[in-house]
Amino acid sequence: MVHDDRQRTGEQPMPAIQAPKVAELVAAQLRRRIVTGELSDGAVLPREANLLDEFGVSRPSLREALRILETEGLVRIRRGNVGGAVVTRPTATSAAYHLGLTLRANEVTCDDLAVGRLAIEPTCAALAAALPDRQAIVAQLTRLIDESEASEAAAEFHDAAHAFHLGLTELCGNTTMRLIAGTLEAVWNAQEDRVLRADYQSDQRARRMSIASHRRIVAAIEAGRGDQASREMSRHLGDTHDLMTARYGSSVIELPAPASLSTLRAVSGLSLAGTSAP
């Protein structure tokens, strides 16, 4: 009767409410345990028989739930005698890789990526300058600059300079900005690999300018001058972007290879008491 009344008045029928599938409910429970840390990285989920008993579902539903989590990158399924589902908690490294996939699928260009980086990373510099424990941050960043200055090979210098940017985002004191800027920086680094290693090897002036720019950024952070730190970072990024976009600006970005994210994994261990980084 209600349906007939709606037809007469021209009203659209209400869409049917879709109940979640059993597999999705099981996946949601396990997903919550992984992201909250109840299940630690590298932990092996209970045996299939135990999970079936716990959730009271069929074997096909449980296996579908595990496939959902595997697709999301939250578990890794091992085969063979030592089989099982191994927890792989989300990290900045995995986020950078998946961000790269998403950007590439949307045909993002180097120009577009550069604009995004320029909008975010200077904010990290300003945040670092406002932290009460910024002297400890300055010490960490100065060490990274010294390592880049001591580098002889072009590849070593490039990696050390990249570590400076990741270090700054890691120590900016805001977890959200740390993760967003850090993943974006890792994707940008994959683009720099195409051109900057060769340029820094042949152009010592470019290396000196990069090092001097990094030191000015750190000096502004040490003085607690957030606006100046942001301006120095913007100027530095602009110079780097000009070199990249002059050659590859309109081209679609390259995917970051998992191996290229090794610097992000190494730098992500930096932390300072008093920042909000976990």
Q: How confident is the model at residue 239 (pLDDT cuts 50, 70, 90)?
A: confident
pLDDT at 101 > cutoff 60 = yes
* pLDDT in the model for residue 265: 52
DSSP label at residue 261? G
Of residues 217 and 8, more confidence is placed in 217
Instruction: Report the percent of the chain where pLDDT is more than 70.
Output: 81
Residue 3 — pLDDT band, cuts 50, 70, 90? low
- Tokens for 130? 């406002």
Angle of helix 110-129 relative to helix 204-222, nearest 10 degrees? 40
Contacts of residue 135, defined as CB under 8 A and 6 or more positions apart, other chains included, come to 222
Residues 61-80, mean pLDDT to the nearest whole number = 92
CB distance 49 to 58 below 8 Å: no
Flag whether pLDDT at 140 surpasses 60: yes
CATH topology (fold) of 92-267: Four Helix Bundle (Hemerythrin (Met), subunit A) (1.20.120)
Instruction: Give the CATH number of domain 2-87.
Output: 1.10.10.10
Question: What values do phi and psi take at 189, rounded to 5?
Answer: -60, -35
pTM of the predicted structure, to 2 decimals:
0.75
Q: Residues spanned by CATH 1.20.120.530 within the chain?
A: 92-267
Residue-wise pLDDT for 165-219, tens only, equals 999 999 999 999 988 998 888 888 888 876 665 555 557 888 899 999 999 999 9
